[in-house]
């Protein structure tokens, strides 16, 4: 049985959607890391942080769905 890591590698090679999701997920992670370096966030920054977290989670969920679909397919 293929591991998630191996399926991710195969999807990276074959799926533009997966590559774009992964790139966006990494970008959002970097943006969140920058925000978290600050000791105090303004209310606006807190809102941005929450939006970034939601978007990052949505990308991760979609990648997990693509992995699941790949496994089911074959």
| pLDDT tens per residue across all 74 residues of the chain | 789 999 999 999 999 999 999 999 999 999 999 999 998 999 999 999 999 999 999 999 999 999 999 999 97
The per-residue pLDDT for range 54-66, each reduced to its tens digit, is: 999 999 999 999 9
The number of distinct structural domains making up the chain is 1
In what helix (H) or strand (E) does residue 25 lie, and over which residues does it extend?
helix 16-36
pTM, 2 dp: 0.88
Instruction: Show the domain range for 35.
Output: 4-73
């Amino acid at each position: 049985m293929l591991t998630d890591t191996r399926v991710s590698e195969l999807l990276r090679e074959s799926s533009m959607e997966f590559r774009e999701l992964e790139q966006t997920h990494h970008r959002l992670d970097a943006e969140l890391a920058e925000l978290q370096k600050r000791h105090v966030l303004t209310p606006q920054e807190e809102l941005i942080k929450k939006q970034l977290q939601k978007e990052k989670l949505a990308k991760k969920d979609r990648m997990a769905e693509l992995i699941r679909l790949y496994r089911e397919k074959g």
